[in-house]
A and B are shown apart, each in its own frame.
Chain A
Amino acid sequence: MRQKDTNLHKIDWVTIGLYFALVFIGWLNIYAAVYDEQNATSIFDFSINSGKQLIWIGTAVILIIIIMVADYRLFHNLSLVLYAVFILILLLTPFIGKEINGQRAWFELGIFRLQPAEFTKFATALVLAKLMENPSFDLSKLKDQMKAVGLIFLPIALILLQPDTGTAMVYSAFFIMLYREGMPQKYYVIGLSLVGLTILTLAIENNLYLFGSIAALILLLIILSKKSWKNALGFLLLGCIMTAYALSLDYVVEKLPDHQQNRIMVLFDPGVDPLGVGWNVTQSKIAIGSGGLLGKGYLEGTQTKFDFVPEQHTDFIFCTLGEEFGWIGSLVMISLFVALLLRLVFLAERQKTRFSRIYGYCVVSLLFFHFTINIAMTIGLFPVVGIPLPFFSYGGSSLWSFTILLFIFIKLDSNRIQILGRSY
């Protein structure tokens, strides 16, 4: 006999508590970012962003209730349909979307603007879980690898058409989930090596040093390989490939349009374009850096409040927190995020079905990726890509999509016992 779906004591209240803590802190910071001392309005004023965010939070609560009372099997069953629908919408977006800042990434529905690419995330997560739950699915097989990667790259390709590089990049987060589910390690070793080599290539101005380092590395490897001629040749080949990669990367970067080149180079030297691309990073670092250990106090920040940091209530919301609450505030906020992520890993691991576990890891992957890239970007560790800080950043699309993403998993988790009965 089917048990009641909403089983309150089975809901993971820890995760929900962390969720509301983050949403609440985010809301306070949105108010701080728009607060104007000379024209002070209430945090509840619907004409300013904090008031609007309150509407988004309220509607998010409605979404939560809907998800929690819905049948947990719905998400399992609808996953393919949802994916198909959102892919279709993504296909249409470049043509019927509203153009904002040179991107057609938004849909306008009356007074609301929604960003389909945000919602495609949970749909993709669901469809991946659905695909991979099959016991015969095996990530060590190239065919199955291709299927999973294909489902990920389809939305990436479509989002790049808008073009919205940041959001597209987010989909690569699914590789974290794939790693947990058994994707061969070699891909990650090669991938991370390439990232490392890329960073070195761009960071080291003088190619002689770079090539010298590569040569030294290869020589070391050959010596360590105990004079095996076969291995030595292999390492030499590796050295050649690295050098060729570095050279071609330099070439490609040089061929990039100036503003994109600057976006990359500004990481290594914020002075490259101080009033252009460098402005965001420089001002963002000034805002955060000026917070000190304890911060300037709530609503006392000057940098974010007086518009020195662009996009402060959306992508750069972390600046407000860093400036007004200092390093201790950052520590608290990052700890909350880490607690949430580790809790979700814990929850994912206790799932009885592959579907729930995979979906859980998708949630972990997306939140972790957003969180890392967003904060790294505000402190100059990553190029400025416009992606929001989950639960913090102002905006309905982002809050809604992360809420849906998270609460589907909480719903699945609360029903993990029932699912046990139908597990494969």
Chain B
Amino acid sequence: MYTGRSLVVAITIGVIALILLGKLFLIQVTDDSYLRKAERNAIQRVVDHPYRGLVYDRNNSLMVFNDPVFDLMVIPKDFSLKDTTRFCELFEIEKENLIKNFTAAKQYSWVKPYPLIKQISKEDFAKVQDFLIDYKGLFVMTRSVRSYPRSSAANVLGYIGEISGSQLSRDSSNYYVQGDYVGHSGIEAYYEPELRGKKGVKYKLVNVRGIEKGAFKNGDLDTMSVPGENLQSTIDLNLQLYGEQLMEGKRGSVVAIEPKTGEILSIISAPSYDPNVLTGAKFGENYEVLNKDPEKPLFNRPIMAMYPPGSIFKIVQSLIGLQEGIITPNTTFACNKALVNCHNHPSPVNLFGAIRNSCNPYYHQAFRQVINQEISSNTYTDTQIGLDKWRESVLKFGLSNRLGIDTHGEKSGSIPSSALYDKIYGKGRWKYSTIYSLSIGQGEMLVTPLQMANLAAIFANKGYYYTPHLVKAINDDPSRIPDKFKEKRDSGIDAKHFDLIQDAMAEALYGTATRAIMEDIEIAGKTGTAQNPAGEDHSVFIAFAPKDNPKIAISVYVENAGWGGRAAASTASLLIEKYLTGEVNRPELEEYVLKGDFIY
């Protein structure tokens, strides 16, 4: 039947059909980009944001919770405004901003909701709630922001904010998307994975106009959001609040540690800020103000500021000398002011006397024996060997390295090595007389207030410490804190050497820090002065108490407050009283500290 031209027609029909089927095969079977485009078209992924975990203090007082805020959403198609002025007054929005936001909404979509006013607080929302029904095309979406009921511990808790571009690119798990909130500092940042919970996703079908048409695959793929886990902080909120009050008007830091556990009871950076200002709609504006503040309230001093340790370091020197057998409690040196300046006290002194009187020449002479052990006949080489050996011992006290607190931004401080002096003076060009100021905690060494408090904890514990940390339990489970906080660390000094040190520290208060003395609680402490070439020296004090069963070890820095016996020792003493007895019964001392204003 199919012959000649009829065959041509039949073949043409077949060929065209094959071409169509071929093209269909290409777009339907070999190319899956159309499937993805179809999903983008019709399947809307709605993220269900989980509640962020809460943070409690060690006595279960709430430190951070989630506060509802309200986004006023607009659907441009339904929205019309007769009296713009009244609307602006009611919702406290500038007319230009209203117009700008509404224009953005229209550009986004004519029928889909878009935030017209973001993050209205619940107080403001209560005011406008009743008027909402007057306006068509507006509705409210509830979100939450962090809220801090006691306005305290900003440096501990940190803040959350929108994820930055670099954080986004570092997120290898691809959990975050643009616009997500993440912790930027403090506990919020360090415990982000625990606090954030798990986002849920709902897949919704939408038609071409963006109108919902039900769940995709009956919601089988949907996941519920999982709320974040709650944290229990090691912070004692009452102590923290009291310390913040004492440090008001001053520049400096306080770190209080429970020596037996390394739990940080209080960590104060002054001046600080109310953490509530870095939440909600005004975040950007307020952050700018804090960031530009010359007093640097965002600078977390306890872990970021570094000072020379000063006289307090003499205790470390004593312990190393004892451990190495270079000195004994009975070793005496004359207070030879020709070597290094000192104040007037009986001379010569043994170790007890040296600590009690903070005798500089004693340590000048003792340290020389630690450094120059005559291992090499060359005095330069001998000094180098001695220094490096000594440095090893010092590092065991948690110095010159980050302790590893659960907050980002910790500084390591520094203890000089022979390599450093080689760099400064040249190899073989320096000896003990070059570096002797290390003996009294001056010179090329820096420690942070946190490391200082940790020293106090080591002295209290007679030789060991736990890495100071801010979180006690995750979701009520203490075993879930990072393992490094459960590990007992050794300072390399035998416990027997600490008895004399503790006695001397308790005695030292009567010499240098009489204000810190309490009637019924025995405090062991040591004053220090961090030299400040730019002005008045910084007042430093470390202590632990009670001496026989230490429950708190503390370091206090008050900048520009002169020597440590004044502001720092008084502050520490008040905090110890507060922590151990729950109240303070020394109003005069309290007033003295509160009145001291050392920022100038």
Residues of chain A having any CB pair with chain B under 8 Å: 36-38, 176, 179-180, 182, 283, 285-293, 302-303, 305-308, 322-323, 326-327, 330-331, 334-335, 337-338, 341-342, 345-346, 348-350, 361, 364, 368, 372, 375-376, 379, 381
Tell me whether B29 and A179 are in contact (CB under 8 A).
no
Indicate if B343 sits at the interface (CB-CB under 8 A).
no
- In angstroms, Cα B24 to Cα A376, docked, is 10
Bound complex: CA A327 to CA B20 (Å)? 11
Would you give 26 A-B contacts (Cβ < 8 Å), ordered by A?
A: A286-B38, A288-B28, A289-B33, A289-B38, A290-B38, A292-B29, A292-B32, A293-B28, A302-B205, A303-B41, A305-B207, A307-B209, A322-B24, A323-B38, A327-B24, A330-B21, A334-B20, A345-B2, A345-B9, A345-B10, A346-B2, A348-B6, A349-B2, A350-B1, A372-B16, A372-B20
Chain B residues within an 8 Å CB radius of A305: 207, 213
Residue of A307, A331, A338 contacting most chain B CB atoms (<10 Å): A338
Task: With both chains docked as a complex, state the minimum distance between the C-beta of A334 and any C-beta of chain B, in angstroms.
Answer: 5
Q: Which residues of A contact B580 (CB under 8 A)?
A: none
> Are A364's CB and B9's CB within 8 A?
yes
Residues in B neighbouring A335, C-beta threshold 8 A: 17
Q: A-facing mask of B198-220, CB < 8 A → 1, else 0?
A: 00000001111100011000000
Q: Are B13 and A180 in contact (CB under 8 A)?
A: no
Closest chain-B Cβ to A284's Cβ sits at a distance in Å of 10
0 or 1 for each of B25-38: is its CB under 8 Å from A? (1 = yes): 10111011111011
Q: How far is the CA of A368 from the CA of B11 in the complex (A)?
A: 12
| Of B16, B29, B37, B42, the contact of A327 (CB 8 Å cutoff) | B29
Instruction: Count B interface residues, CB 8 Å.
Output: 39
Instruction: Tell me, in angstroms, the Cα distance from A290 to B39 when the chains sit together.
Output: 9
Distance in Å: Cβ of B296 to nearest Cβ of chain A: 52
Distance between B16 CB and nearest chain A CB, rounded to angstroms: 5
Interface SS of chain A: helix
Do B27 and A38 have beta carbons less than 8 Å apart?
no
Bound-state CA distance A176–B13 (Å) is: 11
Q: For B2, what are the chain A residues with a Cβ–Cβ distance below 8 Å?
A: 345-346, 349
- Chain B residues, CB < 8 A from A364: 9
> In the bound complex, do residue B17 and residue A180 qualify as a contact, i.e. CB atoms below 8 Å apart?
no
Known contacts A176-B9, A364-B9, A376-B20, A285 near B34 by CB under 8 Å: yes
Excluding A37-B213, A289-B38, A345-B1, 14 further A-B contacts by CB distance (< 8 Å) are A289-B28, A289-B31, A289-B33, A289-B34, A293-B28, A302-B42, A308-B41, A327-B28, A330-B28, A334-B17, A334-B21, A342-B13, A345-B6, A381-B20
Q: Smallest distance from the beta carbon of B200 to chain A beta carbons, Å?
A: 22
Q: Which of B10, B28, B37, B38 has the most CB of A within 10 A?
A: B28
B43 interfacial by beta-carbon distance below 8 Å = yes
User: Which residue of B is nearest A293, CB measured?
Assistant: B29
Contact indicator A289/B27 (Cβ below 8 Å): yes
Contact of B482 with A by CB under 8 A: no
Q: Which of A327, A342, A368 contacts B25 (CB 8 A)?
A: A327
Q: Is the CB of A180 within 8 A of B5?
A: yes
Check B34–A288 contact: CB distance below 8 A: yes
Tell me which residues across on chain B come within 8 A of A308, comparing CB atoms: 41-42, 207-208
Report yes or no: A290 in contact with B17, Cβ–Cβ below 8 A: no
B496 within 8 A of A: no
